[in-house]
Amino acid sequence: MKKIISLILSTAIFYSVNAQCLDLYGRNCDCPTENDSLVVYNNALKVYEFYEKNPDYILLKSQRLKTKQDVLNCFYQLEDALDSFMIRWNLRERVLNGEDLPHVLLPRNGKNIPKEDYYRYVDDYRFYQRELENGILNLSSPFPIYDIRISPLIVNSYENRYSSDEFNGDYVNLVLYVPVTVKPVSLLTEKEKEEREKILGGSIVIKKNQKNPPVKQAKTNRRIADTTLLENSSIKYIPPHIEKRFTYPPSGSVPMYYYNYYGAGTLMGYLVGRKFRKFLPTDEYYWAVPKWLKEFLSNDKQLENYLKIQLGDYYGGLYR
C-alpha cells in the first residue's frame, strides 16, 4: 500500500452522552457493530488493491479529509454524482430510443449502463456507489460500499494511462476508507494497532468528559451485514438517507452540472423542460455553490454559451 495512507488525519464515529451514536449528518442512529466495520474493511481492501496494485492506473493526487465538514461534503458530492449519472443515463436512453441529441455519447458496446452498476441501496445506513466521475466506468473494479456512520478518510484521484482497451483515459475520483482504520479493533495485529495510531493520531472525536463507549449491538430484527450484501441488496436509485438541502424546482426538472477540465461536475441548476433555471441567492442550496461558480452564473451571456455547447438545439433559453 502506498505512502498515501500516512496523510490521513481524521476518523469515523461521533458519540453522544448516552452512547447513542450519531451518523455523519449529526442524526441519532444505531451504532455500527463489529460486523458492520468488517464489511467496510473487507470492501476497502479490495478497492485499494485494485487501484494501488493495478499498473494501468496512476495516482494523481490525494485529498485529506481533515474535518467532519470535509467528510459531509464528500457525501454531498456522492449524491450529486448520482444525479449526474442519472442525467447521462436518461439522455442515453433517449438516444437509444431514436432521438437525435448532440454531444450524447454511448458506450462502445452501444448499450446503456445499467443503473445498478453505478448505485445500489443496501439499507438506511449503507449503499454501494462507484466513483464521483461517471463518464467512463470500469465495471471490473470493486464496487465501493459507504456507511454514513463510518467516515471515509481520503479522496484519491487515479487515471488509466497505459491500457489499450476502452478504459484508457479513465479518470477516477474515489472517496476512500483506509482499511486499517475501519478494521474491528479485536482483529488488529500489534503492527496494525501501531499503524492505526499513527494514522488517526488520537483524532477520534468524542463528546466532552466521555470515554469510548462500548459498541451497541445490532437489533435482533436487523439483518446482519456480511460480504454477500451486494448480491442480496435491493435496488433503489435515490438515497433515502440524504435529506433535501434546497428547494427543488418544479417536478420533472433535470439537474445540470458545470464540468471542469478533468470532467468533474458541479451542480449549477436545473433544466425545466428545455429551459435552464440557475441557482439563485434565495435558494437553500446557494450557500454550497463555490464562489467561482457564482461568478460564472452571474454572467448570463457566458452561461448561455456554455449551455448551447452542452445541449445544442435542445436548449430553450434561461428560465425566468
- pLDDT (tens digit, 9 = 90+) per residue, 61-115? 898 898 888 898 889 888 888 887 888 888 888 888 888 876 777 777 778 888 8
End residue of a domain, out of 198, 232, 266: 232
Question: Do 298 and 165 sit in the same domain of this protein?
Answer: no
Q: How confident is the model at residue 37 (pLDDT cuts 50, 70, 90)?
A: very high
Q: Is residue 142 part of a domain?
A: yes
Please check whether residues 172 and 303 belong to one and the same domain.
Answer: no
Inter-CA distances, 271 with 79, 87, 94, 316, Å: 18, 11, 16, 9
Which of 171, 139, 168, 142 lies closest to 157 in space, CA to CA? 171
25 and 69 co-located in one domain = yes
Assigned domain for 73 exists: yes
What is the C-alpha separation between 217 and 267, in angstroms, rounded?
A: 39
State the amino acid at position 123 in one-letter form: D
Same domain, 145 and 37: yes
- Structural domain count, the chain: 2
Cell of 283: 435558494
- Within a domain: 243: no
The predicted-structure confidence for 234-259, as pLDDT tens digits, reads as follows 434 334 444 434 445 555 678 888 87
Regarding whether 142 and 98 lie in a shared domain, the answer is yes
Q: Are residues 226 and 282 in the same domain?
A: no
Check whether residue 77 and residue 171 sit in a common domain.
yes
Residues making up the chain, counted from first to last: 320
Same domain, 34 and 74: yes
Which pTM value belongs to this model? 0.61
Inter-residue contact 167 to 138 (CB < 8 Å)? yes
* One domain for residues 177 and 302: no
In this structure, the answer to whether residues 305 and 199 fall within a common structural domain is no
Q: How far apart are CA 203 and CA 236, in angstroms?
A: 35
Range of the domain at 294: 254-314
- From CA 249, how far away is CA 254, in angstroms rounded? 9
